[in-house]
Amino acid sequence: MAGTCYIQVILPLKLEWEPYYKVPEGQDIKIGDRVRVVFANAFYVAAVSAVGVVPTLEPTRIVSIESLEKDLPAITPEEIHFWRTAADYYLCTVGEVYKAAYPQMKHTKSRLALPARQEAEGRIHLSEGQEKAADAVRRGFSTGKTVLLKGGAGRWDIYLTLALETLRKGRSVLFLMPEIAFFDQMADSVSRQVPSPLLYHSGLTAGKRKLVAEVLRKGEPNLVLGTRSALFLPHHALGLIIVDEEHDFSYKQDAPAPRYHARESAIMLAQIHGAQMLLGSATPSLESVYNAECGRFVRVDLKDSVLRIQSQLDIIDTGAEYRKKGMAGSFSLKLLEQIRQTLDAGEQVVLIGPRRTYAGGRRMEEEVQEFCPDARIARLDGTAEDQEETIRAFAKGEFDILLGNTMTTRGFESEKLGLVALVAADSILSRQDFRADERSLQVLEQFRGRCRRLVIQTREPGHPVFSALQNGGDATARMLEERRLAGYPPFTRMIKLVVKDSNEKRLEFLTRELAGELNALEIPVEGPYPSSIGPMREDSCREIRLLLPRDKALTVRKHAIGQKVTAFEQARKYTGHIAIDVDPA
């Protein structure tokens, strides 16, 4: 029909195409507008991705939009660009990214209000070493590359100095952190230097999160302090993105799609906005160290970042202690004595047990309470909000002993922390994961930097991780060489396929069929074997891993894998069983 305007839209669905719709005569529609449409007999709010297109379908098959959602703010071109970039990289659809960025909720304007925004006028005093590092970071920015800042607590002053400089230039800052459990503590630190930061994470109410998005759409320079989901906010004029604790695996989204990593996605977002990109950690990931060695990143080491005395390290051989009858339940008598001495000195204790085991934590609490009946003990479990409250109370000195695991005790600070003890350190080594040594060493180094004494109870005192920690050397070169010889990341790129099915026999058969077809791509294939993530509800799981060379054909190979999986699903009517995870954690 002459004069008819056709548009394409992004639906919050797993679709490999963007459907066409007609625009009613006289209706003004722009890219980024949100429209209500019917698709497969259901109503959806779609994002307009193209206007004035020539459809490849017969006009009679194209229906009109239901309405323009005037009450919903338009989506920016930068947002859509980011969605497409993430979808392409992580082998998912742009609709799945849209759904993650705009989860279904009531579309009403927030009735909350933020305090009036203040101008960034403060200045942070930097030591000579910090000033040198900050200058090196600025020089790194001038190259247009991502900068990796390796350093301890002193890197925070550099973050905030650079953030203030960016805000004064009229550009915004996105500051990412890995966890919400200790979010308030870090937010307080930022708020003392940077006025009126915007906080954003999944623990906030929908109304508070909407309010942050509304403020950002005004286009004024702001600092957003958030977790990985803050990447999908409607950012304007981003000038700086900071990813603190860049090594932390909490930055990886495991499910649902998009299965993105915040570190890599932040680099994509920075490129779209022309923003400077800063990664920071006291224990950088091997991926980032490798990228710095290859010249993709600029590395800056903060030399004087350790402002406290290096903590003492004690490694207790529990096997030997059992033979000498030197164990009392979960604790060696040596550790119990160190707990008593720490409490007598008026200092606090953190005890770290096996990962995510309620029963183990409860038993550990009963044992330590029996030994220290007057101690005020708190256990880190329950919701993220409960953990946050407990960590704040511990930092204020309201508890003497904090019990948790390596997942719940990361990132907190307390001036009175005298002792951190890993009661069952072998549990962090037991995962069948090529990254286990790297992550274990990062966790231990992080704990060591926050206390005066670190105690490790283990049956493997000679393990390379504990030896590296004890000797004080840098194990990075050794671990990188092991990865290189094994052909694992960062020397290759990994894609993991997770297949789930309630029918065990069908699962076993089809995953072997899929692995066989993937072998035809002439890419190293591992598996199938039982999934490391365990059962999903009533389903059984299998994993297939593919290792791709880091060369110019990487992108082509990635998309060949995606196409092969899609064709396999369609040919065998196996849709919905296979998840593609690019750069799995």
Domain-located, residue 575? yes
Q: What pLDDT does residue 542 have?
A: 95
Q: Which of 86-100, 388-402, 527-541 has the highest mean pLDDT?
A: 86-100
Average pLDDT over residues 178-191: 79
Q: What pLDDT does residue 2 have?
A: 58
Same domain, 297 and 346: no
Q: How far apart are CA 523 and CA 9, in angstroms?
A: 35
More confident call, 120 vs 350: 350
- 14, 206, 255, 340, 562 from 579: Cα distances, Å: 12, 28, 9, 50, 10
Q: How far apart are CA 571 and CA 306, in angstroms?
A: 58
Q: What pLDDT does residue 306 have?
A: 46
Same domain, 19 and 64: yes
Q: What pLDDT does residue 473 have?
A: 74
Residue 58 has pLDDT above 70, yes or no: yes
| pLDDT interval class at 194 (50, 70, 90) | confident
Q: What pLDDT does residue 357 have?
A: 55
Same domain, 151 and 204: yes
Q: What pLDDT does residue 427 have?
A: 84
Q: What pLDDT does residue 120 have?
A: 54
Per-residue burial over 353-372, b if 16 or more Cβ lie within 10 Å, else e, is: bbbeeeebbeebbebbeebb
- 89, 179, 274, 388, 408 from 182: Cα distances, Å: 31, 7, 30, 5, 9
Q: Measured at the alpha carbon of residue 369, what is the angle toward residues 367 and 374, in degrees to the nearest 5? A: 160
Domain-located, residue 110? no
Residue 411 has pLDDT above 90, yes or no: no
Read off the amino acid at residue 82. Answer: F
Q: What pLDDT does residue 21 have?
A: 98
Domain-located, residue 98? no
Q: 361: phi > 0 → left, psi -120 to 50 → alpha, else beta; which?
A: alpha
| pLDDT interval class at 385 (50, 70, 90) | confident
CB-CB neighbours of 170 under 10 Å: 11
Same domain, 280 and 222: yes
Q: For 489-509, write each residue's pLDDT tens digit.
A: 999 999 999 999 999 999 999
Q: What pLDDT does residue 535 have?
A: 46
What DSSP assignment string belongs to 445-478?
HHHHTTSSEEEEEES-TT-HHHHHHHHT---HHH
DSSP state of 61: G
Same domain, 451 and 533: no
Exposed (0-12), middle (13-18) or buried (19+): which is 287, by Cβ within 10 Å?
A: buried
pTM of the model: 0.91
Same domain, 134 and 51: no
Residue 401 has pLDDT above 90, yes or no: yes
Q: What is the mean pLDDT of the chain?
A: 90
* CATH value at residue 575: 3.30.70.600
- How many domains does one find in the chain? 4
| pLDDT interval class at 106 (50, 70, 90) | very low
Residue 360 has pLDDT above 80, yes or no: no
Q: How far apart are CA 558 and CA 495, in angstroms?
A: 8
Residue 105 has pLDDT above 50, yes or no: no
Same domain, 195 and 295: yes
Q: What pLDDT does residue 521 have?
A: 93
Domain-located, residue 150? yes
Q: What pLDDT does residue 135 have?
A: 98
Same domain, 501 and 449: no
Exposed (0-12), middle (13-18) or buried (19+): which is 226, by Cβ within 10 Å?
A: buried
Q: What pLDDT does residue 538 have?
A: 59
Q: What pLDDT does residue 157 have?
A: 94
Domain-located, residue 156? yes
Lowest mean pLDDT among 144-158, 190-204, 564-578: 190-204
Q: What pLDDT does residue 355 have?
A: 63
Q: Quick check: helix, strand or coil at residue 70?
A: coil
| pLDDT interval class at 256 (50, 70, 90) | very high
Domain end call among 29, 49, 74 = 74
Domain-located, residue 91? no
Q: Dihedrals φ, ψ of 39, to 5°?
A: -140, 125
Q: What pLDDT does residue 270 have?
A: 98
β-strand pairing of 492-501 with 540-549: antiparallel
Average pLDDT over residues 267-295: 97
Q: For 446-486, write each residue's pLDDT tens digit.
A: 888 888 999 999 999 999 999 999 887 788 999 999 999 99
* CATH value at residue 266: 3.40.50.300
Domain end call among 232, 266, 301 = 301
Q: What pLDDT does residue 387 have?
A: 80
Average pLDDT over residues 542-547: 96
More confident call, 174 vs 255: 174
Cis peptide bond prior to 234, omega within 30° of 0: no
Q: How far apart are CA 438 and CA 306, in angstroms?
A: 21
Q: Which residue, 210, 198, 208, 212, is CA-closest to 163? A: 198
More confident call, 466 vs 414: 466
Average pLDDT over residues 534-554: 83
Q: What pLDDT does residue 377 have?
A: 95
Quote the percentage of the chain above a pLDDT of 70: 91
Q: Which two tokens stand for residue 474?
A: 């840098």
| pLDDT interval class at 66 (50, 70, 90) | very high
Same domain, 143 and 210: yes
Question: Which ranges of 54-127 would DSSP assign to H, the alpha helix?
Answer: 77-89, 94-101
Same domain, 340 and 268: no
Domain-located, residue 543? yes
Same domain, 341 and 465: yes
Q: Angle formed by the axes of helices 476-486 and 286-293, to 10°? A: 90
Domain-located, residue 92? no
Residue 222 is part of which domain span? 128-301
Q: What pLDDT does residue 143 have?
A: 98
Quote the percentage of the chain above a pLDDT of 90: 74
Same domain, 292 and 345: no
Residue 307 has pLDDT above 50, yes or no: no
Q: What pLDDT does residue 537 have?
A: 52
Q: What pLDDT does residue 322 have?
A: 95
| pLDDT interval class at 305 (50, 70, 90) | very low
